[in-house]
Chain A
């Protein structure tokens, strides 16, 4: 934090405790609420946690796209949810092209899924790069609101592209037998779709952290995030680095799209809007610009969403409300995110 280097007068211990509670109130409330639920009905709560971790890993992948882009050019890429939706659509269309059906053998299936994953990731990635070129780059020096408005415009355009592509909800073949139970730990069940979500997400997350943290390109990204002008002076091609950031975000969104299609069983042209907002909440919760924070935020949001869905009447309608309410609370009371650090990239 900026003020950390300035020596601050020490407040009396009582006041410090109050301030600490004030700063951590969201943590305390969330944790306390969760503990109550856990004691009340442990099996159900843990099942929600399992479901939440798998849907949350999808949100985490999308949230990373928001957080990468925000970290580097301080722009909310509003069209990111739609990039995810297009990735989903691409993956669903490809199964028929490659002749992948529910009867495909296991080796061919894994191979096919990998190819489809690669193609839908590339499709989303290049779409995201194109969006940056068309909608954001011309406005790099304009006031902040201008690119936000073009982002909204872009999001509507893509949503309608999706509408023309698939006017009604569509289902991919149930390739992974998503509801087949794999493991049962005293009532806490793991189904195939949970494992599938983790199996795709975890390698990608590790690859991303490695890329941003260890490679030359990652270093260029971090440098650009810190100070674009200084980075340019150091010989970094800032425009290309920003393009690369959008590419990375898009790749992850494409992967999330593929997982979502198989996990959820249906795809729809307007899935991107809510998913985008939820993932954005996750990014804000983890401290926007903070990669690990976005992942943790995504998982927490997933758990909250599943808990609300399973415990409240009309849960699927109230879950987004709960998530949006958390978005408002975090943004208003803790804009630096739950981890309290204003970090960028890494």
Chain B
């Protein structure tokens, strides 16, 4: 839809950008046709029913390992939606998103395990957990505590970067993304061990609530984890959609498109950017708690730069700023990562090569990033505005053509 529109407006669009638009036109038309089959609400109902049915019967219908990957995917989708607020909506390229995953996960480690075994705090936990030493707070409280805590850190780490633009901002966030996990890892040198070094914090309490279905979660039947993740994801999705259409969301878009013009129109840059960091970070922490609890271990090895790029890749693949696109990108990439690549392990052997496909997964993501940015920077399901911004050069040429026919 949007591609044809662009072509109508700029009939002489022979620039490389317009060409790449045309190259993907059949894909675009197919996508539009699929989404045109049903009204929006019907799609929402369809996906909700599908997700519920999959949650109930998915492990029986398909494989257990796929089911586990899907739960992980749900958490990654949450993270991608969180980063989308910072990168997609507000246009602040954050390369250190893993820091918030780390902070969120460690909050769950501190508040939901026997790590601080000299303390004895129990808040709404099951009888078995009640007997363990350490701080044990109910999962459903911890997700919100962690969200608030990471939001605070998002604002703290975001504050120094407010004056920076573009690539400098990206590098500073990257530096934070490197600093935070290292500080956790070597925290014992600072006098307070918060991470147990490389061993990490394990085990972590399971979610518990005094209602049937949630009162006895085991790690054998992971169905409850699926539905908890799904509920959390729906919450994040709701927040995302509402924020996008809010006053704040429009301010983000204005800042993304032109900071100076936005400030001149009365957008408070500092406040708006800090909110983007804080909300993006809080969603990262929110999802981080879930991942920490689901994986049952919080280990600094997880929090490396590659993860930030992995999440960023999801957003770029799907379409920066477009919620549906981000979800698609996140599902596609994490399923490729968790499920498809391990299945492809025999492929190099057939070509007479000897290596693990999973080992070079980040190389594959890097390749995807590169190809995507060169051929279709707006992603598979582009955000209309964002797409126009990314093809600004097409407009410059079109203007010249109007002047000199």
A interface with B by C-beta (< 8 Å):
74-76, 134-135, 138-139, 141-150, 152-157, 159-161, 163-164, 167, 273, 277, 280, 284, 312-314, 317-318, 320-321, 324-325, 327-328, 331-332, 335
Q: Does B326 contact A (CB under 8 A)?
A: no
Q: Is B179 touching A324 in the complex (CB atoms < 8 A)?
A: yes
Q: Is B389 touching A153 in the complex (CB atoms < 8 A)?
A: no
How many whole Å from B260's CB to the nearest CB in chain A?
A: 15
Q: Is B167 touching A164 in the complex (CB atoms < 8 A)?
A: no
| Residues of chain B in range 39-81 having any CB-CB distance to chain A below 8 Å | none
Given contacts A152-B309, A160-B360, A320-B178, A332 and B164 within 8 Å (CB-CB): yes
Given contacts A143-B389, A156-B306, A312-B189, A149 and B167 within 8 Å (CB-CB): no
Flag the segment in B136-144, B168-176, B206-214 that touches A: B168-176
Q: Is A149 touching B369 in the complex (CB atoms < 8 A)?
A: yes
Q: Does B11 contact A (CB under 8 A)?
A: no
Q: Does B316 contact A (CB under 8 A)?
A: yes
B interface with A by C-beta (< 8 Å):
16, 93, 95, 160-161, 163-164, 166-168, 170-172, 174-176, 178-179, 182-183, 185-186, 189, 305-306, 309, 312, 316, 355, 359-360, 362-370, 373-374, 377, 389-390, 392-393
Q: Is A150 touching B185 in the complex (CB atoms < 8 A)?
A: no
**Residue among B161, B359, B369 making CB contact with A332, cutoff 8 Å:** B161
**Selected A-B contacts with CB under 8 Å, 25 pairs:** A148-B166, A149-B312, A149-B369, A150-B369, A153-B366, A153-B368, A153-B373, A156-B309, A157-B366, A159-B362, A160-B363, A163-B359, A163-B360, A163-B363, A164-B360, A284-B171, A313-B189, A317-B186, A318-B186, A321-B179, A321-B183, A324-B176, A327-B175, A328-B172, A335-B164
Select from chain B the residue with minimum beta-carbon distance to A70.
Answer: B167
Q: Is A145 touching B170 in the complex (CB atoms < 8 A)?
A: yes
How far is B179's CA from A273's CA once the two chains are assembled, in angstroms? 14
Q: Which of B164, B185, B306, B366 has the most CB of A within 10 A?
A: B366
How far is B174's CA from A331's CA once the two chains are assembled, in angstroms? 12
How far is B363's CA from A138's CA once the two chains are assembled, in angstroms? 21
B164 proximity list for chain A (CB < 8 A): 331-332, 335
**Chain A-chain B contacts (Cβ-Cβ < 8 Å), number:** 137
Q: Is A154 touching B93 in the complex (CB atoms < 8 A)?
A: no
Q: Is B366 touching A324 in the complex (CB atoms < 8 A)?
A: no
How many whole Å from A62's CB to the nearest CB in chain B?
A: 15
How far is B311's CA from A149's CA once the two chains are assembled, in angstroms? 13
B185 proximity list for chain A (CB < 8 A): 317
Q: Is A157 touching B373 in the complex (CB atoms < 8 A)?
A: no
How far is B316's CA from A314's CA once the two chains are assembled, in angstroms? 37
Q: Is A314 touching B160 in the complex (CB atoms < 8 A)?
A: no
**Residue among B163, B182, B377 making CB contact with A142, cutoff 8 Å:** B377
Q: Is A146 touching B377 in the complex (CB atoms < 8 A)?
A: yes
Secondary structure class of chain A's binding surface, majority of residues: helix
**Residue among A134, A154, A280, A328 making CB contact with B366, cutoff 8 Å:** A154
Leading 7 A-B pairs by shortest Cβ distance: A160-B363, A156-B366, A153-B369, A153-B370, A324-B175, A153-B366, A141-B393
Q: Is A157 touching B374 in the complex (CB atoms < 8 A)?
A: no
B389 proximity list for chain A (CB < 8 A): 143
How far is B189's CA from A327's CA once the two chains are assembled, in angstroms? 22
Q: Is B370 touching A150 in the complex (CB atoms < 8 A)?
A: yes
B355 proximity list for chain A (CB < 8 A): 164, 167
> Can you add 12 more A-B contacts, CB < 8 Å, to A145-B166, A153-B365, A313-B189?
A146-B390, A148-B93, A148-B167, A153-B370, A154-B370, A160-B360, A160-B364, A167-B359, A277-B175, A324-B178, A332-B160, A332-B164
Select from chain B the residue with minimum beta-carbon distance to A288.
Answer: B168
Q: Is A76 touching B359 in the complex (CB atoms < 8 A)?
A: no
How far is B371's CA from A149's CA once the two chains are assembled, in angstroms? 11
How far is B171's CA from A75's CA once the two chains are assembled, in angstroms? 12
**Residue among B168, B174, B316 making CB contact with A149, cutoff 8 Å:** B316
Q: Is B163 touching A332 in the complex (CB atoms < 8 A)?
A: yes
**Residue among A147, A159, A284, A335 making CB contact with B363, cutoff 8 Å:** A159
B393 proximity list for chain A (CB < 8 A): 141-142
How many whole Å from B95's CB to the nearest CB in chain A?
A: 8
How many whole Å from B17's CB to the nearest CB in chain A?
A: 8
B363 proximity list for chain A (CB < 8 A): 156-157, 159-161, 163
Select from chain A the residue with minimum beta-carbon distance to B93.
Answer: A145
How many whole Å from A269's CB to the nearest CB in chain B?
A: 10
How far is B389's CA from A277's CA once the two chains are assembled, in angstroms? 29
How many whole Å from A113's CB to the nearest CB in chain B?
A: 31
Q: Is A328 touching B163 in the complex (CB atoms < 8 A)?
A: no
A318 proximity list for chain B (CB < 8 A): 182, 186, 189
